[in-house]
Amino acid sequence: MSLEALPGVIAVSLVAVATLVIGSWGLKLSRTTSDFFVASRSVNPQLNASAIGGEYLSAASFLGVAGLLLTFGAEMLWYPIGWTAGYLVLLALVAAPLRRSGAYTLPDFAEARLGSRSARAACSLLVVVIAWLYLLPQFQGAGLTLRSAVGAPTWVGPLIVGVVVLANIGSGGMRSITFVQAFQYWLKLTALLLPAAILLAVWFGDGTPPAAGAAADLAEWSRPLAGDGGGRGLYLTYSLILATFLGTMGLPHVVVRFYTNPDGPAARRTTLVVLGLLGLFYVLPPVYGALGRVYADELARTGRSDALVLELPRLMVSGPVGDVLTGLVTAGAFAAFLSTSSGLSIAVAGVLGQDVFDRWFSPRLHGVSAFRVGAVVAVVVPLVVALALPNLGVARAVGLAFAVAASTFCPLLVLGIWWRRLTDAGAVAGLLVGFVGSGSAVLWAMTSRSTGGWAVLLEQPAAWTVPLTFLTMVTVSLLTPDRVPAHTRAFLARLHAPETLLLDRSSL
Protein backbone atom coordinates (compact mmCIF):
# COMPACT_ATOMS: atom_id res chain seq x y z
CA MET A 1 0.00 0.00 0.00
CA SER A 2 1.39 3.37 -0.98
CA LEU A 3 1.73 6.32 1.37
CA GLU A 4 -0.72 8.24 -0.79
CA ALA A 5 -3.47 5.83 0.17
CA LEU A 6 -2.98 6.39 3.90
CA PRO A 7 -5.52 9.24 4.48
CA GLY A 8 -8.19 7.23 2.69
CA VAL A 9 -7.51 4.08 4.68
CA ILE A 10 -7.57 5.98 7.98
CA ALA A 11 -10.78 7.81 7.01
CA VAL A 12 -12.66 4.66 5.96
CA SER A 13 -11.57 2.78 9.09
CA LEU A 14 -12.58 5.66 11.38
CA VAL A 15 -16.03 5.95 9.78
CA ALA A 16 -16.63 2.20 9.98
CA VAL A 17 -15.55 2.07 13.64
CA ALA A 18 -17.51 5.20 14.61
CA THR A 19 -20.61 3.77 12.94
CA LEU A 20 -20.34 0.53 14.86
CA VAL A 21 -19.57 2.27 18.17
CA ILE A 22 -22.48 4.71 17.92
CA GLY A 23 -24.70 1.83 16.82
CA SER A 24 -23.81 -0.26 19.87
CA TRP A 25 -24.16 2.78 22.15
CA GLY A 26 -27.67 3.21 20.78
CA LEU A 27 -28.22 -0.48 21.40
CA LYS A 28 -27.64 0.05 25.11
CA LEU A 29 -30.40 2.65 25.04
CA SER A 30 -32.70 0.30 23.13
CA ARG A 31 -34.53 -1.80 25.65
CA THR A 32 -37.99 -2.51 24.30
CA THR A 33 -39.39 -3.95 21.11
CA SER A 34 -40.82 -0.53 20.40
CA ASP A 35 -37.31 0.95 20.59
CA PHE A 36 -36.19 -1.67 18.14
CA PHE A 37 -38.74 -0.98 15.45
CA VAL A 38 -39.77 2.66 15.79
CA ALA A 39 -37.31 4.13 18.30
CA SER A 40 -40.28 4.39 20.70
CA ARG A 41 -41.53 7.35 18.68
CA SER A 42 -39.54 9.58 20.97
CA VAL A 43 -37.28 11.16 18.37
CA ASN A 44 -37.47 14.96 18.30
CA PRO A 45 -37.74 16.81 14.94
CA GLN A 46 -34.12 18.04 14.89
CA LEU A 47 -32.58 14.64 15.57
CA ASN A 48 -35.05 12.91 13.30
CA ALA A 49 -34.44 15.39 10.50
CA SER A 50 -30.68 14.89 10.78
CA ALA A 51 -31.28 11.16 10.60
CA ILE A 52 -33.48 11.53 7.53
CA GLY A 53 -30.87 13.74 5.91
CA GLY A 54 -28.12 11.29 6.80
CA GLU A 55 -30.02 8.40 5.33
CA TYR A 56 -31.14 10.26 2.23
CA LEU A 57 -27.84 11.81 1.10
CA SER A 58 -26.46 8.88 -0.82
CA ALA A 59 -23.36 8.32 -2.87
CA ALA A 60 -25.17 9.88 -5.80
CA SER A 61 -25.53 13.13 -3.84
CA PHE A 62 -22.06 13.12 -2.36
CA LEU A 63 -20.02 12.03 -5.38
CA GLY A 64 -22.32 11.61 -8.37
CA VAL A 65 -23.82 15.10 -8.66
CA ALA A 66 -20.49 16.96 -8.64
CA GLY A 67 -19.12 14.61 -11.30
CA LEU A 68 -22.21 14.97 -13.47
CA LEU A 69 -22.08 18.74 -13.12
CA LEU A 70 -18.48 18.72 -14.29
CA THR A 71 -19.29 16.62 -17.35
CA PHE A 72 -22.78 17.77 -18.35
CA GLY A 73 -23.14 21.16 -16.68
CA ALA A 74 -26.21 22.95 -15.36
CA GLU A 75 -28.77 20.39 -16.59
CA MET A 76 -27.59 18.12 -13.78
CA LEU A 77 -28.53 20.74 -11.17
CA TRP A 78 -32.06 19.34 -11.53
CA TYR A 79 -31.09 16.20 -9.63
CA PRO A 80 -30.29 17.90 -6.28
CA ILE A 81 -33.21 20.32 -6.77
CA GLY A 82 -35.58 17.43 -7.37
CA TRP A 83 -34.23 15.45 -4.45
CA THR A 84 -34.91 18.47 -2.18
CA ALA A 85 -38.19 19.66 -3.71
CA GLY A 86 -39.43 16.08 -3.35
CA TYR A 87 -39.56 16.75 0.38
CA LEU A 88 -41.68 19.86 -0.18
CA VAL A 89 -44.18 17.82 -2.19
CA LEU A 90 -44.07 15.14 0.49
CA LEU A 91 -44.62 17.78 3.18
CA ALA A 92 -47.61 19.29 1.39
CA LEU A 93 -49.34 16.06 0.43
CA VAL A 94 -48.44 13.20 2.73
CA ALA A 95 -46.25 13.98 5.78
CA ALA A 96 -48.77 14.49 8.58
CA PRO A 97 -51.49 12.12 7.28
CA LEU A 98 -48.95 9.36 6.70
CA ARG A 99 -47.69 9.68 10.27
CA ARG A 100 -51.25 9.61 11.61
CA SER A 101 -52.11 6.54 9.56
CA GLY A 102 -49.86 4.63 11.95
CA ALA A 103 -48.40 2.73 9.00
CA TYR A 104 -44.82 1.66 9.51
CA THR A 105 -44.19 0.71 5.89
CA LEU A 106 -45.89 1.34 2.55
CA PRO A 107 -47.44 -2.16 2.53
CA ASP A 108 -48.86 -1.40 6.01
CA PHE A 109 -50.43 1.76 4.65
CA ALA A 110 -51.95 -0.01 1.65
CA GLU A 111 -53.44 -2.74 3.81
CA ALA A 112 -54.81 -0.37 6.44
CA ARG A 113 -56.30 2.02 3.89
CA LEU A 114 -57.71 -0.50 1.41
CA GLY A 115 -58.27 -3.51 3.64
CA SER A 116 -56.73 -5.74 1.00
CA ARG A 117 -54.01 -8.34 1.25
CA SER A 118 -53.32 -8.32 -2.47
CA ALA A 119 -52.67 -4.57 -2.40
CA ARG A 120 -50.28 -5.25 0.45
CA ALA A 121 -48.48 -7.98 -1.49
CA ALA A 122 -48.10 -5.74 -4.56
CA CYS A 123 -46.62 -2.99 -2.40
CA SER A 124 -44.22 -5.38 -0.67
CA LEU A 125 -42.90 -6.56 -4.01
CA LEU A 126 -42.45 -2.96 -5.18
CA VAL A 127 -40.63 -1.93 -2.02
CA VAL A 128 -38.10 -4.69 -2.57
CA VAL A 129 -37.63 -3.81 -6.26
CA ILE A 130 -37.20 -0.07 -5.65
CA ALA A 131 -34.89 -0.55 -2.68
CA TRP A 132 -32.68 -2.98 -4.58
CA LEU A 133 -32.55 -0.68 -7.57
CA TYR A 134 -31.33 2.02 -5.19
CA LEU A 135 -28.98 -0.26 -3.23
CA LEU A 136 -27.10 -1.53 -6.27
CA PRO A 137 -25.43 1.80 -7.08
CA GLN A 138 -24.55 2.30 -3.41
CA PHE A 139 -22.54 -0.91 -3.40
CA GLN A 140 -20.96 -0.16 -6.75
CA GLY A 141 -20.09 3.35 -5.69
CA ALA A 142 -18.38 2.05 -2.57
CA GLY A 143 -16.19 -0.13 -4.79
CA LEU A 144 -15.27 2.81 -7.05
CA THR A 145 -14.55 5.06 -4.08
CA LEU A 146 -12.19 2.63 -2.40
CA ARG A 147 -10.44 1.98 -5.69
CA SER A 148 -9.99 5.68 -6.27
CA ALA A 149 -9.06 6.50 -2.65
CA VAL A 150 -6.81 3.62 -1.62
CA GLY A 151 -6.33 1.55 -4.77
CA ALA A 152 -8.29 -1.43 -3.45
CA PRO A 153 -9.92 -3.90 -5.87
CA THR A 154 -13.53 -2.94 -6.66
CA TRP A 155 -15.04 -5.83 -4.68
CA VAL A 156 -13.59 -4.61 -1.36
CA GLY A 157 -15.87 -1.56 -1.00
CA PRO A 158 -19.20 -3.39 -1.44
CA LEU A 159 -18.06 -6.10 0.93
CA ILE A 160 -17.10 -3.69 3.75
CA VAL A 161 -20.34 -1.73 3.36
CA GLY A 162 -22.39 -4.95 3.38
CA VAL A 163 -20.72 -6.28 6.52
CA VAL A 164 -20.94 -3.00 8.49
CA VAL A 165 -24.58 -2.49 7.50
CA LEU A 166 -25.52 -6.03 8.48
CA ALA A 167 -23.70 -5.79 11.81
CA ASN A 168 -25.47 -2.54 12.58
CA ILE A 169 -29.05 -3.30 11.65
CA GLY A 170 -28.93 -6.89 12.85
CA SER A 171 -28.07 -5.77 16.35
CA GLY A 172 -29.25 -2.21 16.85
CA GLY A 173 -32.68 -1.71 15.35
CA MET A 174 -34.24 1.63 14.60
CA ARG A 175 -33.17 3.52 17.69
CA SER A 176 -29.46 3.00 17.32
CA ILE A 177 -29.71 3.58 13.56
CA THR A 178 -31.30 6.96 14.27
CA PHE A 179 -28.19 8.12 16.12
CA VAL A 180 -25.90 6.65 13.48
CA GLN A 181 -27.75 8.35 10.63
CA ALA A 182 -27.87 11.71 12.40
CA PHE A 183 -24.13 11.51 13.01
CA GLN A 184 -23.58 10.66 9.37
CA TYR A 185 -25.51 13.68 8.12
CA TRP A 186 -23.26 16.07 10.00
CA LEU A 187 -20.19 14.09 9.01
CA LYS A 188 -21.16 14.31 5.33
CA LEU A 189 -21.91 18.02 5.57
CA THR A 190 -18.57 18.74 7.28
CA ALA A 191 -16.69 16.52 4.87
CA LEU A 192 -18.01 18.49 1.91
CA LEU A 193 -18.25 21.97 3.48
CA LEU A 194 -14.77 22.29 5.00
CA PRO A 195 -12.82 21.26 1.86
CA ALA A 196 -15.15 23.41 -0.27
CA ALA A 197 -14.35 26.48 1.87
CA ILE A 198 -10.61 25.85 1.67
CA LEU A 199 -10.72 25.13 -2.07
CA LEU A 200 -12.69 28.32 -2.68
CA ALA A 201 -10.05 30.22 -0.71
CA VAL A 202 -7.37 28.65 -2.90
CA TRP A 203 -9.32 29.70 -5.99
CA PHE A 204 -9.51 33.30 -4.75
CA GLY A 205 -5.82 33.10 -3.84
CA ASP A 206 -5.06 32.09 -7.42
CA GLY A 207 -6.84 35.23 -8.62
CA THR A 208 -10.15 33.53 -9.57
CA PRO A 209 -9.00 31.85 -12.80
CA PRO A 210 -11.89 31.31 -15.25
CA ALA A 211 -13.21 27.95 -16.37
CA ALA A 212 -11.39 26.09 -19.10
CA GLY A 213 -12.90 25.78 -22.57
CA ALA A 214 -14.34 27.94 -25.33
CA ALA A 215 -17.17 30.42 -24.74
CA ALA A 216 -19.62 28.35 -26.81
CA ASP A 217 -18.83 25.29 -24.67
CA LEU A 218 -19.42 27.30 -21.52
CA ALA A 219 -22.81 28.54 -22.71
CA GLU A 220 -23.78 24.95 -23.47
CA TRP A 221 -22.48 23.94 -20.04
CA SER A 222 -24.65 26.64 -18.41
CA ARG A 223 -27.91 25.65 -20.07
CA PRO A 224 -30.17 23.88 -17.54
CA LEU A 225 -31.78 21.63 -20.17
CA ALA A 226 -30.94 18.05 -20.97
CA GLY A 227 -29.02 17.14 -24.11
CA ASP A 228 -28.92 19.74 -26.88
CA GLY A 229 -31.52 21.92 -25.18
CA GLY A 230 -34.12 21.25 -27.91
CA GLY A 231 -37.59 19.80 -27.54
CA ARG A 232 -36.16 16.43 -26.61
CA GLY A 233 -34.08 18.04 -23.87
CA LEU A 234 -37.16 19.86 -22.59
CA TYR A 235 -39.06 16.56 -22.33
CA LEU A 236 -36.18 14.82 -20.54
CA THR A 237 -35.80 17.71 -18.10
CA TYR A 238 -39.48 17.88 -17.19
CA SER A 239 -39.73 14.12 -16.94
CA LEU A 240 -36.80 14.08 -14.54
CA ILE A 241 -38.41 16.88 -12.51
CA LEU A 242 -41.61 14.88 -12.26
CA ALA A 243 -39.77 11.71 -11.26
CA THR A 244 -37.74 13.34 -8.49
CA PHE A 245 -40.43 15.73 -7.18
CA LEU A 246 -42.97 12.93 -6.89
CA GLY A 247 -40.71 9.93 -6.38
CA THR A 248 -39.25 11.00 -3.04
CA MET A 249 -42.44 10.22 -1.13
CA GLY A 250 -42.43 6.69 -2.52
CA LEU A 251 -38.93 5.69 -1.46
CA PRO A 252 -39.12 2.88 1.08
CA HIS A 253 -36.47 4.22 3.46
CA VAL A 254 -38.09 7.66 3.53
CA VAL A 255 -41.51 6.43 4.64
CA VAL A 256 -40.16 4.30 7.48
CA ARG A 257 -38.60 7.39 9.06
CA PHE A 258 -41.94 9.18 9.41
CA TYR A 259 -43.27 6.70 11.87
CA THR A 260 -40.61 7.65 14.42
CA ASN A 261 -42.22 11.10 14.78
CA PRO A 262 -44.47 11.57 17.84
CA ASP A 263 -47.43 12.98 15.85
CA GLY A 264 -48.59 14.66 12.63
CA PRO A 265 -47.41 18.22 13.38
CA ALA A 266 -44.02 16.84 14.43
CA ALA A 267 -43.84 14.99 11.12
CA ARG A 268 -44.42 18.29 9.32
CA ARG A 269 -41.79 20.12 11.33
CA THR A 270 -39.32 17.31 10.80
CA THR A 271 -39.88 17.58 7.05
CA LEU A 272 -39.34 21.34 7.17
CA VAL A 273 -36.02 20.88 8.98
CA VAL A 274 -35.08 18.23 6.39
CA LEU A 275 -35.72 20.76 3.62
CA GLY A 276 -33.29 23.14 5.31
CA LEU A 277 -30.64 20.49 5.89
CA LEU A 278 -30.80 19.22 2.30
CA GLY A 279 -30.67 22.76 0.91
CA LEU A 280 -27.60 23.42 3.03
CA PHE A 281 -25.91 20.31 1.69
CA TYR A 282 -26.85 20.65 -1.97
CA VAL A 283 -25.30 24.09 -2.48
CA LEU A 284 -21.94 22.34 -2.09
CA PRO A 285 -21.78 19.89 -5.06
CA PRO A 286 -22.09 22.80 -7.55
CA VAL A 287 -19.02 24.37 -5.93
CA TYR A 288 -17.05 21.20 -6.65
CA GLY A 289 -18.48 20.95 -10.16
CA ALA A 290 -17.55 24.54 -10.97
CA LEU A 291 -14.05 24.35 -9.41
CA GLY A 292 -13.59 21.06 -11.26
CA ARG A 293 -14.21 22.92 -14.49
CA VAL A 294 -11.34 25.23 -13.61
CA TYR A 295 -8.83 22.80 -12.10
CA ALA A 296 -9.79 19.26 -13.08
CA ASP A 297 -11.05 19.43 -16.64
CA GLU A 298 -9.03 16.35 -17.59
CA LEU A 299 -11.17 14.22 -15.25
CA ALA A 300 -14.17 14.93 -17.48
CA ARG A 301 -12.24 14.23 -20.68
CA THR A 302 -10.92 10.92 -19.37
CA GLY A 303 -14.34 9.82 -18.11
CA ARG A 304 -13.36 9.77 -14.44
CA SER A 305 -15.63 12.60 -13.32
CA ASP A 306 -17.22 10.35 -10.66
CA ALA A 307 -13.98 10.76 -8.69
CA LEU A 308 -14.04 14.57 -8.87
CA VAL A 309 -14.93 15.16 -5.21
CA LEU A 310 -12.26 12.68 -4.11
CA GLU A 311 -9.47 13.99 -6.32
CA LEU A 312 -10.08 17.73 -6.44
CA PRO A 313 -8.48 18.51 -3.02
CA ARG A 314 -5.16 16.94 -4.06
CA LEU A 315 -5.27 18.62 -7.47
CA MET A 316 -5.66 22.04 -5.86
CA VAL A 317 -3.74 21.73 -2.59
CA SER A 318 -0.50 19.80 -2.23
CA GLY A 319 1.16 18.47 0.89
CA PRO A 320 -0.40 17.45 4.20
CA VAL A 321 -3.40 19.78 3.90
CA GLY A 322 -4.36 18.13 0.64
CA ASP A 323 -3.97 14.71 2.31
CA VAL A 324 -6.19 15.68 5.24
CA LEU A 325 -8.86 17.10 2.91
CA THR A 326 -8.71 13.93 0.82
CA GLY A 327 -9.19 11.87 3.96
CA LEU A 328 -12.16 14.03 4.92
CA VAL A 329 -14.01 13.68 1.60
CA THR A 330 -13.27 9.97 1.54
CA ALA A 331 -14.78 9.66 5.02
CA GLY A 332 -17.87 11.56 3.87
CA ALA A 333 -18.25 9.41 0.77
CA PHE A 334 -17.98 6.23 2.80
CA ALA A 335 -20.52 7.54 5.31
CA ALA A 336 -22.85 8.17 2.38
CA PHE A 337 -22.67 4.54 1.29
CA LEU A 338 -23.14 3.23 4.81
CA SER A 339 -26.09 5.40 5.80
CA THR A 340 -28.17 5.03 2.65
CA SER A 341 -27.47 1.31 2.47
CA SER A 342 -28.54 0.91 6.11
CA GLY A 343 -31.80 2.74 5.58
CA LEU A 344 -32.71 0.79 2.45
CA SER A 345 -31.68 -2.52 3.95
CA ILE A 346 -33.85 -1.89 7.00
CA ALA A 347 -36.81 -1.14 4.76
CA VAL A 348 -36.30 -4.32 2.74
CA ALA A 349 -35.52 -6.41 5.83
CA GLY A 350 -38.76 -5.26 7.43
CA VAL A 351 -40.81 -6.22 4.38
CA LEU A 352 -39.05 -9.53 3.80
CA GLY A 353 -39.17 -10.36 7.49
CA GLN A 354 -42.88 -9.58 7.85
CA ASP A 355 -44.29 -10.61 4.51
CA VAL A 356 -42.05 -13.48 3.46
CA PHE A 357 -40.17 -15.21 6.23
CA ASP A 358 -42.59 -14.65 9.10
CA ARG A 359 -45.51 -15.78 6.95
CA TRP A 360 -44.07 -18.64 4.94
CA PHE A 361 -41.60 -20.07 7.41
CA SER A 362 -43.57 -19.56 10.61
CA PRO A 363 -43.21 -20.87 13.29
CA ARG A 364 -39.56 -21.65 12.64
CA LEU A 365 -38.83 -18.00 11.88
CA HIS A 366 -40.63 -15.32 13.84
CA GLY A 367 -40.42 -11.65 14.82
CA VAL A 368 -36.88 -10.45 15.28
CA SER A 369 -35.29 -13.59 13.84
CA ALA A 370 -37.38 -13.21 10.68
CA PHE A 371 -36.24 -9.57 10.53
CA ARG A 372 -32.62 -10.70 10.75
CA VAL A 373 -32.96 -13.32 8.01
CA GLY A 374 -34.70 -10.62 5.97
CA ALA A 375 -31.73 -8.30 6.57
CA VAL A 376 -29.27 -10.90 5.31
CA VAL A 377 -31.25 -11.47 2.10
CA ALA A 378 -31.83 -7.72 1.71
CA VAL A 379 -28.08 -7.05 1.69
CA VAL A 380 -26.72 -10.16 0.01
CA VAL A 381 -28.83 -10.11 -3.17
CA PRO A 382 -27.88 -6.59 -4.37
CA LEU A 383 -24.34 -7.18 -3.13
CA VAL A 384 -23.95 -10.22 -5.40
CA VAL A 385 -25.50 -8.36 -8.34
CA ALA A 386 -23.21 -5.37 -7.75
CA LEU A 387 -20.17 -7.64 -7.75
CA ALA A 388 -21.35 -9.46 -10.88
CA LEU A 389 -22.45 -6.42 -12.93
CA PRO A 390 -20.03 -3.60 -12.16
CA ASN A 391 -20.90 -1.39 -15.16
CA LEU A 392 -24.21 0.27 -14.26
CA GLY A 393 -24.07 4.08 -14.10
CA VAL A 394 -24.49 5.22 -10.47
CA ALA A 395 -26.71 8.28 -10.74
CA ARG A 396 -28.68 6.68 -13.58
CA ALA A 397 -29.90 3.72 -11.53
CA VAL A 398 -30.83 6.03 -8.65
CA GLY A 399 -32.72 8.26 -11.08
CA LEU A 400 -34.67 5.27 -12.35
CA ALA A 401 -35.54 4.19 -8.82
CA PHE A 402 -37.17 7.61 -8.43
CA ALA A 403 -39.09 7.13 -11.66
CA VAL A 404 -40.45 3.77 -10.49
CA ALA A 405 -41.39 5.21 -7.07
CA ALA A 406 -43.11 8.21 -8.68
CA SER A 407 -45.07 5.94 -11.04
CA THR A 408 -46.31 3.58 -8.33
CA PHE A 409 -46.28 4.72 -4.70
CA CYS A 410 -46.85 8.43 -5.31
CA PRO A 411 -50.32 7.92 -6.86
CA LEU A 412 -51.17 5.32 -4.22
CA LEU A 413 -50.26 7.66 -1.35
CA VAL A 414 -51.84 10.79 -2.82
CA LEU A 415 -55.12 9.12 -3.78
CA GLY A 416 -55.14 7.02 -0.62
CA ILE A 417 -54.83 10.09 1.55
CA TRP A 418 -57.06 12.55 -0.34
CA TRP A 419 -59.60 10.60 -2.35
CA ARG A 420 -62.48 8.64 -0.73
CA ARG A 421 -63.36 6.49 -3.71
CA LEU A 422 -60.06 4.66 -4.14
CA THR A 423 -60.56 0.88 -4.18
CA ASP A 424 -58.13 -2.00 -3.82
CA ALA A 425 -58.79 -3.05 -7.43
CA GLY A 426 -57.97 0.46 -8.65
CA ALA A 427 -54.82 0.63 -6.56
CA VAL A 428 -53.50 -2.73 -7.70
CA ALA A 429 -54.29 -2.02 -11.37
CA GLY A 430 -52.53 1.35 -11.12
CA LEU A 431 -49.47 -0.12 -9.41
CA LEU A 432 -49.27 -2.75 -12.15
CA VAL A 433 -49.52 -0.22 -14.98
CA GLY A 434 -47.00 2.14 -13.37
CA PHE A 435 -44.60 -0.66 -12.62
CA VAL A 436 -44.73 -2.21 -16.09
CA GLY A 437 -44.29 1.22 -17.71
CA SER A 438 -41.42 2.45 -15.58
CA GLY A 439 -39.94 -1.03 -15.11
CA SER A 440 -39.64 -1.61 -18.85
CA ALA A 441 -37.82 1.71 -19.06
CA VAL A 442 -35.41 0.49 -16.39
CA LEU A 443 -34.75 -2.75 -18.26
CA TRP A 444 -34.29 -0.86 -21.50
CA ALA A 445 -31.89 1.60 -19.88
CA MET A 446 -29.79 -1.22 -18.44
CA THR A 447 -29.52 -3.15 -21.68
CA SER A 448 -29.65 -0.65 -24.53
CA ARG A 449 -27.62 2.40 -25.43
CA SER A 450 -29.58 3.87 -28.31
CA THR A 451 -31.23 7.23 -27.62
CA GLY A 452 -32.92 8.23 -30.87
CA GLY A 453 -36.59 8.84 -31.72
CA TRP A 454 -39.24 7.44 -29.45
CA ALA A 455 -36.63 5.80 -27.21
CA VAL A 456 -36.53 9.16 -25.45
CA LEU A 457 -39.80 8.16 -23.78
CA LEU A 458 -38.06 5.18 -22.20
CA GLU A 459 -34.99 7.13 -21.27
CA GLN A 460 -36.97 9.17 -18.74
CA PRO A 461 -40.43 7.60 -18.41
CA ALA A 462 -42.04 9.52 -15.50
CA ALA A 463 -43.74 12.15 -17.67
CA TRP A 464 -46.10 9.55 -19.13
CA THR A 465 -46.08 6.75 -16.53
CA VAL A 466 -47.14 8.97 -13.60
CA PRO A 467 -50.29 10.37 -15.29
CA LEU A 468 -51.06 6.91 -16.66
CA THR A 469 -50.95 5.41 -13.17
CA PHE A 470 -53.18 8.13 -11.73
CA LEU A 471 -55.62 7.65 -14.59
CA THR A 472 -55.70 3.86 -14.14
CA MET A 473 -56.23 4.08 -10.38
CA VAL A 474 -59.07 6.59 -10.76
CA THR A 475 -60.78 4.80 -13.67
CA VAL A 476 -60.68 1.31 -12.17
CA SER A 477 -61.75 2.64 -8.76
CA LEU A 478 -64.75 4.39 -10.33
CA LEU A 479 -65.63 1.14 -12.13
CA THR A 480 -65.56 -0.81 -8.85
CA PRO A 481 -67.51 1.46 -6.46
CA ASP A 482 -68.76 -1.48 -4.39
CA ARG A 483 -65.19 -2.24 -3.36
CA VAL A 484 -64.67 1.04 -1.48
CA PRO A 485 -63.75 -0.13 2.03
CA ALA A 486 -66.45 0.50 4.67
CA HIS A 487 -63.98 2.18 7.01
CA THR A 488 -62.78 4.74 4.43
CA ARG A 489 -64.42 7.78 6.00
CA ALA A 490 -63.25 6.91 9.49
CA PHE A 491 -59.76 6.21 8.21
CA LEU A 492 -59.54 9.55 6.41
CA ALA A 493 -60.81 11.26 9.54
CA ARG A 494 -57.91 9.77 11.44
CA LEU A 495 -55.43 10.88 8.78
CA HIS A 496 -56.53 14.50 8.77
CA ALA A 497 -57.99 15.31 12.19
CA PRO A 498 -55.54 16.88 14.65
CA GLU A 499 -54.31 14.69 17.50
CA THR A 500 -55.50 17.13 20.17
CA LEU A 501 -59.06 16.35 19.17
CA LEU A 502 -58.55 12.62 19.42
CA LEU A 503 -57.00 13.01 22.86
CA ASP A 504 -60.05 15.00 23.88
CA ARG A 505 -62.42 12.32 22.73
CA SER A 506 -60.56 9.49 24.37
CA SER A 507 -60.94 11.21 27.71
CA LEU A 508 -64.70 11.64 27.36
Partner 1 sequence: MSDQPPRVRVTGPSRRPQGGQRRVDLGVESPLSEVYLDSLLAAQLRLAGRILLVLGLTVGSLPLVFFVVPDLAEVTPLGIPLSWLLLGFGVYPLLVLLGWRFVVSAERNERDFVDLTRGTR
Using alpha carbons only, give the angle 130, 136, 142 rounded to the nearest 5 degrees: 140
Q: Evaluate whether 266 touches 486 at the Cβ level (below 8 Å).
A: no
Closest approach of partner 1 to the CB of residue 116, in Å: 14
- How far is Cα 53 from Cα 44, in angstroms, rounded to an integer? 14
Closest approach of partner 1 to the CB of residue 182, in Å: 20
* Contact string 398-437 vs partner 1 (x = CB under 8 A): --------------------x-------------------
Closest approach of partner 1 to the CB of residue 146, in Å: 29
Within 283-423, residue ranges assigned H as helices are: 284-295, 297-301, 308-316, 319-352, 358-360, 367-388, 394-418
Q: Evaluate whether 330 touches 246 at the Cβ level (below 8 Å).
A: no
- How far is Cα 292 from Cα 300, in angstroms, rounded to an integer? 9
Closest approach of partner 1 to the CB of residue 376, in Å: 26
Q: Closest by alpha carbon to 341, among 86, 140, 65, 176? A: 140
Burial group, residue 396, by CB count within 10 angstroms (0-12, 13-18, 19+) = middle
Q: Which is nearer to partner 1, 11 or 278 (CB)?
A: 278
Q: Which is nearer to partner 1, 323 or 358 (CB)?
A: 358
- How far is Cα 307 from Cα 324, in angstroms, rounded to an integer? 17
Binding residues for partner 1, rule CB under 8 A, total 70
SS (HEC) of 445-492: HHHCCCCCHHHHHHHCCHHHHHHHHHHHHHHHHHHCHHHCCCCHHHHH
Q: Closest by alpha carbon to 158, among 174, 177, 137? A: 137
Closest approach of partner 1 to the CB of residue 277, in Å: 10
**Touching partner 1, residues 104-123 (CB under 8 A):** 104, 108, 112
**Exactly one of 43, 275, 300, 348 binds partner 1 (CB under 8 A); which one?**
275
347 binds partner 1 (CB under 8 A): no
**Exactly one of 13, 32, 190, 222 binds partner 1 (CB under 8 A); which one?**
222
Q: What is the DSSP string of 66-121?
A: HHHHHHHGGGGGHHHHHHHHHHHHHHHHTHHHHHHHT-SSHHHHHHHHH--HHHHH
223 binds partner 1 (CB under 8 A): yes
- How far is Cα 60 from Cα 401, in angstroms, rounded to an integer? 12
Q: Which is nearer to partner 1, 74 or 202 (CB)?
A: 74
127 binds partner 1 (CB under 8 A): no
Closest approach of partner 1 to the CB of residue 60, in Å: 17
Region near partner 1 per CB under 8 A, out of 126-134, 178-186, 227-235, 440-448: 227-235
**Exactly one of 6, 10, 81, 377 binds partner 1 (CB under 8 A); which one?**
81
**Touching partner 1, residues 282-341 (CB under 8 A):** 282-283, 286, 290
Binding region for partner 1 (CB under 8 A): 41, 74, 77-78, 81, 84-85, 87-89, 91-93, 96, 101-104, 108, 112, 208, 215, 218-220, 222-225, 229, 233-234, 237-238, 241, 245, 262, 265, 268-269, 271-272, 275-276, 278-280, 282-283, 286, 290, 418, 487, 489-494, 496-506
